[in-house]
Amino acid sequence: MDRSYTTYAGAEVIDQGMRDVTWEEIREMRDQALAASDWRALKDVVLPNAWKEFRDLLRTLPQRFEDPNDAADNFPEAPSDE
């Protein structure tokens, strides 16, 4: 999850930094990622280990980090289908 921001005045950069996120935002992103990959976990589909690990990391994200910013900075990336 990208927390960085840049503020412009015309073409001039006037501020850059990292925004703070809330647990609500983290959970919303996590829930969306789980929902988008639910079809991979159907009974008649063989779920590769990379996808099992990804979905497990998503489910345990709030338990693995005390701060939502840390969770955002370590948000798991979906594996490729290669």
Banded model confidence at residue 64, pLDDT cuts 50, 70, 90: very high
The reported pTM is 0.74
Helix (H, G, I), strand (E, B) or coil at 36: helix
- Interval 8-62: pLDDT, tens: 999 999 999 999 999 999 999 999 999 988 777 666 667 778 888 999 999 999 9
Task: Mention every residue, 6+ apart, whose C-beta is less than 8 A from residue 11.
Answer: none
b/e per residue 18-27 (b: at least 16 CB within 10 A): eeebeeebbe
* pLDDT greater than 80 at residue 75: yes
Residue 74 phi/psi, 5-degree rounding, is -115, 25
